[in-house]
Amino acid sequence: MFSIIFELIAGLFGSIGYSDTLNTKKIDQNIERLNQHDWFNKIFEDEKYHRLFFVNKRIRRYLQSTIRVRKIIRSKEAQRKLLLLIEKQIKS
């Protein structure tokens, strides 16, 4: 419980001094968490989308938030938003 509160506070303070750099280690850990779920693994393994998870800055920034990833795991609506972002990025 303490770690969740700490992540939330750190996330709030981190957004104040917004940085353009991505935390690759954190993003990769969050992708690993998502990959434990079949619905995400199907997308991740699909050739059409796979590359986006490594090169697309918007998707990587979206997956940088551990709190957001936890919400994606729990919520169908959050999953739908991630899928919409992925579709939007594949078209651009």
More confident call, 15 vs 35:
35
Q: Looking at residue 21, what is its pLDDT?
A: 86
Q: How far is CA 30 from CA 16, 17, 76, 91, 92, in A?
A: 22, 22, 17, 24, 24
Q: Is residue 14 part of a domain?
A: no
Q: What integer is the mean pLDDT of 55-64?
A: 96
Q: Flag whether 40 is in a domain.
A: yes
Residue 4, domain member (yes or no)? no
pLDDT on residue 17: 45
Question: Which residues constitute the domain of residue 32?
Answer: 20-91
Which pLDDT value is given to residue 11?
61
Domain assignment present for 11: no
- In sequence order, what DSSP letters do the residues of 35-81 get, joined into one string? HTSHHHHHHHH-HHHHTHHHH-HHHHHHTT-HHHHHHHHH-HHHHHH
pLDDT exceeds 90 at position 12: no
Q: Do residues 59 and 86 make contact, with C-beta atoms less than 8 angstroms apart?
A: yes
Q: Is residue 3 part of a domain?
A: no
**pLDDT tens digit sequence for 18-53:** 556 889 999 999 999 999 999 999 999 999 999 999
Q: What is the pLDDT of the chain when averaged over all its residues?
A: 87
The answer to the question of residue 9 being in a domain is: no
Of 43, 42, 36, the closest CA to residue 69 belongs to 36
Domain annotation covers residue 15: no
Number of domains in the chain: 1
Q: 10 in a domain, yes or no?
A: no
Task: State the pLDDT at residue 16.
Answer: 46
